[in-house]
């Protein structure tokens, strides 16, 4: 499917096909026909293969931050411009992290928590703020609870850090922490805990609420969950919503036109190509066109009327890729491209 660098196991040399010539890629992104059978196109590959990176959108660009590489954990930051298909390297994160949370508030990027280290996955409570105008990072008030594999959502200028894996009174384990960061005051506040502690969940903000989706127990993808808990920032209460179609963890979520799109994941039997959509209006999940490439530990970002799915592992556990697969809602985009 197009040009891509396939994932590899740790220690293997990268395998790649020839890169598509840029003008041809740009033409394809603009003019490739889209049908009900194929709502996917391929974008410019990520320059460096990785997994468990974080992605966020700022000023129409996607910033891909940290993650695993074939050589260990990275602090690399790369920005992708969907309009041109270009990737540019940005100032590196001050520390190498994976499984971190990320959000944008007032034109600044915030990287929250994550794991430091490849072998022991030490949870951290650091908060890093990125200023795109200066291309600089600086430390902010640390999160009260050190954790990685958490979910992060932003609502009304505040960042919500939910769940994750970190230190407990009984050793490392699941956390039910729900902590809110206000960059205007550089302060954290604890809120009502997640009903069931878990890690490797996805968080999405839709209809003014924080949706905590799926996840796993004790960082084991053999113990995936189909939970769907919803936090109302106005009332401080959690409620249950329609569960996922199947237990999932290690997946990515993005919101497009008010609906939550959930992609991928991993389980003992392999990685998943599943793509499910939740409508807050109907309160139901529906099955959508699956990803061209099944994977987990991927990053998702919505720009305009498209969702970009970047990197991730093709096999459960430590695997990586430089994939950039783009989902386009079929009916609206098909009409545009036919003009």
Q: What is the dihedral of CA 316, 285, 148, 159, to 10 degrees?
A: 150
pLDDT of residue 120: 84
- Residue 136 sits in a domain whose CATH number is 2.120.10.80
How confident is the model at residue 338, as a pLDDT? 30
DSSP-assigned states of every residue in 23-79: HHHHHHHHH---BTTB-EEE-PPPSS-BBS-EEEEETTEEEEE--EETTEE---EEE
DSSP H helical ranges for 128-250: none
Count structural domains, the chain: 1
Instruction: Note the residue count of the chain.
Output: 339
| Reported confidence tier of residue 119, pLDDT bands at 50, 70, 90 | confident
Cα(108)–Cα(129) distance, integer angstroms: 7
Task: Tell me what the pLDDT averaged over the chain comes to.
Answer: 89
pLDDT at residue 24 above 80?
A: no
pLDDT in tens, 206-251: 999 999 999 999 999 999 999 999 999 999 999 999 999 999 999 9
Domain residues for 275? 5-337
Specify the pairing of strand 77-81 against strand 61-65. Answer: antiparallel
User: Is residue 141 a contact partner of residue 186, using CB atoms and an 8 Å limit?
Assistant: yes
């Amino acid at each position: 499917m197009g040009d891509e660098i396939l994932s590899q196991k740790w220690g293997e040399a990268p395998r790649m096909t020839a890169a598509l010539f840029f003008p041809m890629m740009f033409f394809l992104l603009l003019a490739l026909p889209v049908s009900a059978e194929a709502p996917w196109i391929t974008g410019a590959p990520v320059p460096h293969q990785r997994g468990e990176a974080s992605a966020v959108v700022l000023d129409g660009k996607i910033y891909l931050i940290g993650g695993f590489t074939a050589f260990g954990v990275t602090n690399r930051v790369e920005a992708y411009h969907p309009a041109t298909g270009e990737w540019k390297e940005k100032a590196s994160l001050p520390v190498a992290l994976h499984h971190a949370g990320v959000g944008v508030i007032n034109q600044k990027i915030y990287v929250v928590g994550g794991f430091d280290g490849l072998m022991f996955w030490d949870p951290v409570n650091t908060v890093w703020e990125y200023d795109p105008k200066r291309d600089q990072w600086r430390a902010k008030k640390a999160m009260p609870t050190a954790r990685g594999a958490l979910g992060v959502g932003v609502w009304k200028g505040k960042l919500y850090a939910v769940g994750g894996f970190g230190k407990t009174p009984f050793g490392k384990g699941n956390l039910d922490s729900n902590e809110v960061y206000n960059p205007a005051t550089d302060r954290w506040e604890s809120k009502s805990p997640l009903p069931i502690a878990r890690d490797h969940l996805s968080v999405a903000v839709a209809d003014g609420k924080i949706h905590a989706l799926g996840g796993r127990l004790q960082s084991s993808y053999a113990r995936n969950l189909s939970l769907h808990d919803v936090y109302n920032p106005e009332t401080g209460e959690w409620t249950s919503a329609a569960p996922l179609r199947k237990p999932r963890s290690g997946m990515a979520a993005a919101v497009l036109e008010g609906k939550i799109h959930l992609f991928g994941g991993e389980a003992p039997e392999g990685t998943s190509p599943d793509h499910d959509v939740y409508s807050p209006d109907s309160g139901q999940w529906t099955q959508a066109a699956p990803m061209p490439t099944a994977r987990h530990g991927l990053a998702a970002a919505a720009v305009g009327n498209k969702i970009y799915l970047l990197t991730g592992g093709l096999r459960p556990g430590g695997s990586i890729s430089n994939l950039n697969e783009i989902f386009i809602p079929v009916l609206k985009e098909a009409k545009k491209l036919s003009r």
